[in-house]
A and B are shown apart, each in its own frame.
Chain A
Amino acid sequence: MNGPRTLDPAEQSPTAGRAGDRLLRAGDVIGRFLLVILLTYLGLLAVTFFIGRVIPIDPVLAIVGDRAPEHVIARVREELGLNKPLWEQFYIYVTKVLQGDFGNSVLTSNPVMQDIRRAFPATIELATLGTIIGAGLGVPLGVWAAVRRGGLADQFVRVMGLIGYSVPIFWLGLMALVVFYARLGWVGGPGRIDIVYEYTLKSVTGLLLLDTAMAGEWQAFGNALSHLILPAALLGYFSLAYISRMTRSFMLNELGQEYVVAARAKGLSETRIIWRHALRNAMVPLVTVIALSYAGLLEGSVLTETVFAWPGLGLYITNSLQNADMNAVLGGTIVVGSVFIGLNLLSDLLYRLLDPRTRDR
């Protein structure tokens, strides 16, 4: 009996065939997508795990310290399962992760995700504002530099980019603090918010701007913003250096295309050509650049966080690594990996939205 039940499209009725076709293809795409994600995570975890076990730091040392008697060390080592073979340790870890148990930080004994849930919002705020500054200023600057090629803006973008690549961020951060905080008093100092608000602020999401706005505490909001602006501007600057150069490059590419010549011949205004046509086309690859730049900031910038006493993800992962707290490092790796995968997905979606050519295929 080979009626409509068969999966062979040739043997099915025409309409059912096309629906089945699409379902198959959709299933195929999703399946392949999930497989890629799974392999990515597994690979990420495996590499991090084995690097962590290979680095010459004794994780027990961080927990019990240098003074612990030998039997305490041996006991803790046993409790952590460090005497088992490497493969077994990895297998145990992965099975736990699949059940949602990311383990406890060996340093704080808190569940790793709880610690990260505290540290991540600080990084989110910084990265988001930094990317807004970086893209918000970087794109127009890049456009300007491309349009006035060889002009002042172009030189400016080039020099800014050069400084961004050469000057160490911690030095620039300290200098910015000295000038804008210590000497001029224009911005708040290192730390997320003044001590005064420590007792009155209720932390809901961990995103201080959001929490203070939701509670209607506008003075606290302003305070949090004043603390946020300098490190965000710093990260934004480095984003800006990169994004403006990429924008310039993409725009030059677009402005050299034939449709621009055609548009000019048709009498369209220059402004319209640049912003509505060329930039819109340049946005397609630019979205990926901005998304990846955002992802790069979201993994936490440990140097900025150190200088500005910002309790974010970068400091958390770095501190955990220096103490061989592998549960915390792996948890952080998963979070960062998820961010990258998520943002890649987002930029793919935006790609499809922005570029009509990728739509109905």
Chain B
Amino acid sequence: MTHSPLPIARRLLGAAAMAALLVGSAPASAATPKDTLVIAWAIDDIITMDPAESFEISAGEIMGNTYDRLIRFDVSDPSKLLGDTAKTWTVSPDGKTYSFELKDGLKFASGNPLTAEDVAFSLQRAVILDKTPAFILTQFGFTKDNVKDRIRQTGRLTLQIETDKAYAPTFVLNCLTANVAAIVDKKLVLSKEQNNDLGYGWLKTNYAGSGPLKIREWRANEILALERNDNYYGDKSKLPRVIYRHVKEAATQRLLLEKGDIDIARNLTPQDLAALASSKDIKTTSTPKGTVYYFSLNQKNPTLAKPEVREAMKWLVDYAAIGDTLIKNIGVVHQNFLPVGLLGASTENPYKLDVEKAKALLAKAGVPNGFKVTIDMRTVQPVQGITEAFQQTAKRAGIEVEIIPGDGKQTLTKYRARSHEMYIGQWGADYWDPHTNADTFARNPDNADDAKSKPLAWRNAWAIPELTKKTDAAVLERDAVKRKAMYEEIQAEFRKTSPFVMLYQQTEVAAFRSDVQGLKLGPTSDTTYMFKVSKL
């Protein structure tokens, strides 16, 4: 049977021609434009542009670049506070009233003037809307009913904030540097108000700020475009445009960076970073972040509730190996709940892998042959690697760890319902003050199942009335030196008795093209300032 190959050949030729055409239309140059900074980052956690609602990490950075607040802290020395829109501030002798005087001549990106009226409005709005981050302000006693009296404008450029107790001034002022205290354009926001929502529906996807960059467009899970705000009071943004591209896959980010299609990659893995170390075109920068990782033991489980078992677990983690391999470049072993950089942080790391010691403790607890336990784990690295490593070392003491893998939200749901046995998780500082972590690790006012607040200590059913009192006292201590000592004491006790096996503090790393200048990652999500970055 013969047949002419012509029709087939014709078709394939056509296909080849099409391929040639496409090759010809490939981009001539792959570099990013000189006036635009392009950053690849997984930004699918952003759900809102409203600073009164925004709390996720990526959103935090956007807010930090686009909205001003009363004060910020100095990124190179977080114990120093700098006036942002505030020129000066004082604390009353009784420690409950804070008075601020604003700089004059400030304007929003819209052109509207920025006065104390906008500042008071923004803070009140955050309290009234009462979204997730509002607790940072409401913890000072503000409620929907009293906030208009407690946070009041006293002059065109002056306002006063009255707290319910005499808290440590550093605590209050540090909370005012948070994103929830960002200043929004009252006139603009109220002009878009619907159904008395204080502009909430509009601001969710729009911009009303005064920061060095303004939000031009946000396409969820695709791209976020920022532009220079020429009305900014300080040094204008070095580059006119900053674009965040949502790229979920680390390998894809790496390829884009190597080709120069992006300037900065934020989610590279330790392997990627090691491979890029030898590249001439790519550099890296890193900063310790206020996020700590830990294992936790649910105290509802009778075996895990035994104090000797709690301690034994801390001796069964191979911190050295984890530090050298699994978290290399992305974390530092840290066995305390206060991240380094916060007042009162401790760098005491007394635990190391000691199987014999653990075995002895287990024998004392009455379980010399070990026991079975499950751990809920998110299927991401390095969490997965660390859990598997722990499974290995725990086995040597007779503890059989069964890993229950799950998706992030799935494991979190189980954790918050206290239905886990062991859990591996992380906690990032909400604001730059030690109370943010002490409040969740070392404070549990109500251990009942229907408690109104559910800090991490509650999630693990750790009943600590005495420690809670100490934590409450520390936040009211106005002397910084004394306060520091109090947190060190709390952490010492925590290290010994808590059901938390603290593992490491996160280091954030970014890789960037060598023509990018001035990139410095901040300790919190909102202190990475892209407006200070330039390109050669």
Contacts and interface: CB of A to CB of B under 8 A. Distances in A.
Contacts of B225: 198
A109 B219 CA distance: 13
A71 B48 CA distance: 20
Interface stretch (A18-26, A87-95, A270-278, A330-338): A270-278
A271 B259 contact: no
Nearest to B223: A198
A140 B15 CA distance: 11
Given A64-B132, A66-B412, A181-B255, A144 B8 contact: yes
B410 A71 contact: no
Contacts of A67: 55, 132-133, 135, 430
Given A178-B255, A182-B258, A198-B243, A274 B3 contact: yes
B372 interface: no
A319 B56 CA distance: 16
Contacts of A72: 130-132, 134
Given A56-B410, A61-B412, A140 B4 contact: no
Contact of A58 (B33, B246, B413): B413
Contacts of B90: none
Contacts of A274: 3
Interface string B442-485: 00000000011110000000000000000000000000000000
Interface centre among A69, A174, A274, A306 (most CB of B within 10 A): A69
B255 A190 contact: yes
Contact of A107 (B1, B47, B132, B451): B47
B38 A109 contact: no
Bin the interface of chain A by size.
35 or more
B116 to A, nearest CB: 28
B511 to A, nearest CB: 15
A70 B454 contact: yes
Given A177-B255, A225-B25, A63 B3 contact: no
Given A186-B23, A198-B243, A70 B259 contact: no
B32 A195 contact: yes
A306 to B, nearest CB: 5
Given A177-B255, A196-B33, A270 B1 contact: yes
B27 A226 contact: yes
Contacts of A226: 22, 25-27
A188 B12 CA distance: 24
A194 interface: yes
A53 to B, nearest CB: 13
Nearest to A322: B407
Interface in B396-423: 407-410, 412-414, 416
A259 to B, nearest CB: 16
Secondary structure dominating the interface of A = helix
Contacts of A160: none
Interface string B129-149: 011111100000000000000
Nearest to B201: A109
B32 A319 contact: no
A93 B410 CA distance: 24
Contacts of A223: 25, 27
A186 B255 contact: no
B6 interface: yes
B245 A57 contact: no
B47 A63 contact: yes
B221 to A, nearest CB: 6
A110 interface: yes
Given A70-B454, A109-B204, A190 B30 contact: no
Nearest to A226: B26
A323 B409 CA distance: 7
B218 to A, nearest CB: 9
Interface in B32-52: 32-33, 36, 38, 40, 44, 47-48
Interface in B71-94: none
B414 A56 contact: yes
A71 B134 CA distance: 12
A129 to B, nearest CB: 11
A182 B7 contact: no
Nearest to B12: A140
Interface in A119-166: 136-137, 140, 143-144, 147
B248 interface: yes
Interface residues of B, number: 68
Contact of B252 (A221, A271, A308, A311): A308
B261 interface: yes
Interface string A52-86: 00011110011111111111100100000000000
B220 interface: yes
Contacts of A316: 221
A174 B250 CA distance: 11
A61 B56 CA distance: 12
Interface string B242-254: 0101111101100
Nearest to B6: A271
A115 B220 contact: yes
B106 interface: no
Contacts of B248: 306, 309, 315
Nearest to B48: A109
A314 to B, nearest CB: 11
A63 B55 CA distance: 10
Contacts of B32: 195
Given A140-B12, A195-B38, A311 B131 contact: no
Nearest to B409: A57
Contacts of B196: none
Given A65-B56, A226-B25, A140 B8 contact: yes
Which 5 pairs across A and B sit closest by C-beta, in order of nearness?
A222-B25, A270-B3, A311-B222, A68-B132, A58-B413
Interface of B: 1-4, 6-8, 11-12, 15, 22-23, 25-27, 30, 32-33, 36, 38, 40, 44, 47-48, 55-56, 130-135, 201, 204-205, 219-223, 225, 241, 243, 245-249, 251-252, 255-256, 258-259, 261, 407-410, 412-414, 416, 430, 451-454
29 contacts: A57-B409, A57-B410, A63-B47, A65-B56, A66-B412, A66-B416, A67-B55, A67-B430, A70-B454, A71-B130, A71-B452, A72-B131, A109-B47, A118-B219, A137-B15, A181-B255, A182-B258, A185-B26, A189-B259, A189-B261, A190-B255, A194-B27, A195-B33, A195-B245, A221-B25, A226-B25, A270-B3, A306-B249, A315-B221
Given A61-B409, A198-B243, A226-B27, 16 more contacts: A62-B409, A67-B132, A68-B135, A69-B452, A118-B219, A147-B1, A174-B252, A195-B36, A223-B25, A225-B25, A270-B1, A309-B40, A311-B219, A311-B222, A311-B246, A319-B221
